[in-house]
Amino acid sequence: MGLAIFEGSGSDGEGVGHAVMGDGVDRQVAPLARAGAYVTLAGVGVGGLGIVLPHPSSFNEPALIALWLFSALWAMFFLIYAERLPMIAIRLAPAAGILQVTAAVIFSGDALGAYATFYLWPCFYAFYFLSRTDSALTVAFLGLCYGSTLILMNGSDAASVGDLTHQFVLTVGSLAIAGVMMLALRDRVNALWTRLSGAARTDMLTGFRNKHGLVEVLATEIERARPDAHRIGVLSVSVGGIGRVSKDHGHEAGDAVLKEIGRLLDESTRRIDTVGRIDAHEFAVVLPETDEHTGFLLAEQILTRFRRTYRERGTTLRASLGVASFPKHGVRAEDLMQAAESAAQVADTLGSDRAVVYSADVDDALAAETGTAPKDGRMHLATVLSLAEVLDLRDEANASHAAAVAGYCEMIGREMGLPEQRVARLRLAGMLHDIGKVGIADSILDKPGPLSPSEWDQVRRHPEMAARILAARELTDIREWVLARHEQLDGHGYPRGISGEEIPLEARILAVAESYDAMTSDRPYRAARTPAEAIGEMGRYSGSQFDGAVVDALVRALDRAAAGSAA
């Protein structure tokens, strides 16, 4: 449930604000109701002492006891139902308190007695918690009730009226002045709180949000996004070279550059986006309604502008950008910020001046192979995964193909009983299986019709290109699987023409997963086939192109997934 509105409690929008949440419940009413109840219970306690202690003979004890019992019940009602009371009940509470005090004054038999001082309590409550309009109405109602009580109890002859006027003006005037002082104190405290609250969320140098403030913005956006499963992007920007600027030209020059970078980010983003400075040389941007692909494109645009702005000046400034998105990379604000910062750190380690999309597969896959996630391997793998993201962005018809193939590989691997470590490596292979296509021209990838022999020859070489990209020691097994995924059981595949058991099982799984996703996805030159048609097609080529056991495992996994969804 998200914060829907924040407004004042009175019609003039002043006083203590109250938050109306997305479920229609006013979260600020409950503490105000409890405060009113506690004030009333305190009044009941003091009023009860007035009966127990020696008191004037004019006291109507039964009536006062009944009044205090009623007031106690009224306070208990406010305590019990504090979460359900409407705001109008809080606004009328001082009037109810004034009526109870008026009754106590009448039952005491002395309009000028101690019980008249109880008018302070509802008066102070109104001035502290409610708006100026409600406070003024409270004082007016108090004057009406007390004035009527004075006349009722002391008569209306000329002599009495003079004395009563004197008493009325002093009493009500004192209450009004005390209330105004309370109001001034409240406004001063609120103003101080607002300044302190704003300062706690604002970076003093740039004027943008600091990390605490930006995390709050992100948390609010996540709450808003949850009901409709909207995407939220987070962009982390690590700036290198600021230290050199400060050293060569002074700290003021370094500060000026940081302010300028903040403005550059602000001008490069939309009005709904929020820019913040989260560390000495780091910025971040919260991007509502943005997935990781759109965030990556924005990161590239910012990099282009950054290069143009600072390379023209001959500076050594460089930027490393990391992209993460909700809910793919985390469902908590802190986790998303950490993911984006981690991706920016990877970009910086890779040489900066680039953008990296966060991927948990980096650490998970390396840990599955070695038990640890060595830094060099993590950096290389992060580069490769970023290339895979770029490939999906280049080929609109192929968007999210790598993630889908990775998912099918995982399903098949588990269905065939592979160990979890092997399944994790297989999933990563699915993410990287088409990485060799980064060397193929867009004109070939996007061609709607048949390929020419020379174009087809370029496509057939992409497994070897992938093998060269995946040359790191930590990716040796995945390199072999990706290289062999276009081989066929009958030996008619490419690039090496191997057959049967010479083809690694993981490569055979990759072939089935990739073919199934390709056949069941729309392409510019054909419509998607149904799952049944795709399975039938692979069944016809089982034993020659595809491994029948792998195809059967895919069918079982799909049936199991469908049964789980139906349940």
Structure confidence at residue 201 (pLDDT) = 80
Please check whether residues 295 and 385 belong to one and the same domain: no
Of the residues 181, 201, 221, the one at which a domain ends: 201
Report the DSSP pairing between strands 354-357 and 318-326: parallel
pLDDT of residue 343: 84
- Lowest-confidence range among 181-195, 262-276, 357-371, 459-473? 357-371
- Given a cut of 80, whether residue 135 has pLDDT beyond it is yes
Say if 521 falls within a structural domain: yes
Number of domains in the chain: 3
Query: What are the two backbone dihedrals, phi and then psi, of residue 299, each rounded to the nearest 5 degrees?
Result: -60, -40
pLDDT category at 379 given cuts 50, 70, 90 is very low
Q: In the prediction, which pLDDT does 404 show?
A: 85
Asked if residue 13 has pLDDT above 80, the reply is no
**Domain containing residue 140:** 3-201
Instruction: Say how far apart CA 559 and CA 386 lie, in whole Å.
Output: 33
pLDDT at residue 103, as a whole number: 92
Residue 521 sits in a domain of what CATH number? 1.10.3210.10
What local confidence, expressed as pLDDT, does residue 374 receive? 44
Pair (210, 197) in one structural domain: no
Strand partners, 184: none
pLDDT at 539: 93
Q: How far is CA 230 from the centre of its chain?
A: 11
Least confident of 70-84, 103-117, 317-331: 103-117
- What CA dihedral angle connects 530, 535, 540 and 543, to 10 degrees? 150
pLDDT grade, residue 161 (50/70/90)?
low
pLDDT average, residue stretch 341-363: 72
pLDDT classification of 246: cutoffs 50, 70, 90: confident
Over the stretch 431-452, which tens digit does the pLDDT of each residue have?
888 877 766 666 676 677 777 8
Expressed in angstroms, the distance from the first to the final Cα of the chain is: 27
The least confident of 164-168, 321-325, 486-490 is 164-168
What pLDDT is attached to residue 181? 77
Q: pLDDT digit string (tens) for 16-39? A: 433 333 333 344 788 888 988 998
Q: Is the pLDDT of residue 361 over 60?
A: no
Structure-block tokens of residue 541: 């080529």
Beta strands in 170-326 (DSSP E): 232-240, 274-279, 282-288, 318-326
Do 465 and 389 lie in a common domain?
yes
Does residue 552 fall inside a structural domain?
yes
Residue 490 lies in a domain: yes
Q: What is the mean pLDDT of residues 299-303?
A: 87
Highest mean pLDDT among 175-184, 381-390, 517-526: 517-526
Output the domain CATH number for residue 225. Answer: 3.30.70.270
- Is residue 14 one of the residues assigned to a domain? yes
pLDDT, average across residues 330-359: 82
Which DSSP state fits 84?
T
Same domain for 338 and 373, yes or no, is: no
In a domain, 270, yes or no: yes
Q: How confident is the model at residue 238 (pLDDT cuts 50, 70, 90)?
A: very high
532 within a domain of the structure (yes/no): yes
Q: What is the pLDDT of residues 257-293, one digit of tens each?
A: 999 999 999 999 999 999 999 998 999 999 999 988 8
Whether residue 241 sits in one domain with residue 187? no
3-state secondary structure 287-351: EECCCHHHHHHHHHHHHHHHHHHHHCCCCCCEEEEEEEEECCCCCCHHHHHHHHHHHHHHHHHCC
Residues 567 and 523 in one domain: yes
74-78, 132-136, 460-464: least confidently modelled range: 460-464
Element (H, E) at 548: helix 548-566
Please indicate whether residue 157 or residue 53 has the higher confidence score (pLDDT): 53
Q: What is the C-alpha to C-alpha distance for residues 134 and 125, in angstroms, rounded to an integer?
A: 11
State whether 127 and 179 are in the same domain: yes
| Same domain membership, residue 51 and residue 175 | yes
Spatial separation of the C-alpha atoms in residues 325 and 343, rounded to whole Å: 12
437 inside domain: yes
pLDDT over 70 percentage in the chain: 80
- Shared domain check, 216 and 151: no
Looking at residue 228, what is its pLDDT?
A: 76
CA pair distance 83, 106, nearest whole angstrom: 34
48 band by pLDDT with thresholds 50, 70 and 90 = confident
CA distance 367 to 310: 39
Output the CA–CA distances (angstroms, integers) from residue 433 to 248, 460, 467, 481, 499, in the order listed.
Answer: 47, 14, 10, 8, 19
Using a cut of 0.85, tell me whether the model's pTM lies above it: no
- Mean pLDDT: which of 12-26, 73-87, 362-376 is highest? 73-87
**Domain edge (last residue) among 358, 382, 411:** 358
| pLDDT of 373 above 60 | no
Pair 190, 320 in one domain: no
Q: Provide the b/e sequence for 208-236 (b: ≥16 CB within 10 Å).
A: bbbbebbbbbbebbbebbeeeebbbbbbb
Between 351 and 381, residue with greater pLDDT: 351
- Average pLDDT over the chain reads 80
Sheet holding 232-240, edge to edge: 274-279, 282-288, 232-240, 318-326, 354-357
Residues 146 and 101 reside in one and the same domain: yes
Which one is predicted more confidently, 247 or 180? Answer: 247
Last residue of one domain, picked from the residues 171, 201, 231? 201
> Within this chain, do residues 278 and 314 fall inside the same structural domain, yes or no?
yes
pLDDT surpasses 80 at 205: yes
The answer to whether residue 325 sits within a structural domain is yes
d(CA 238, CA 340): 10
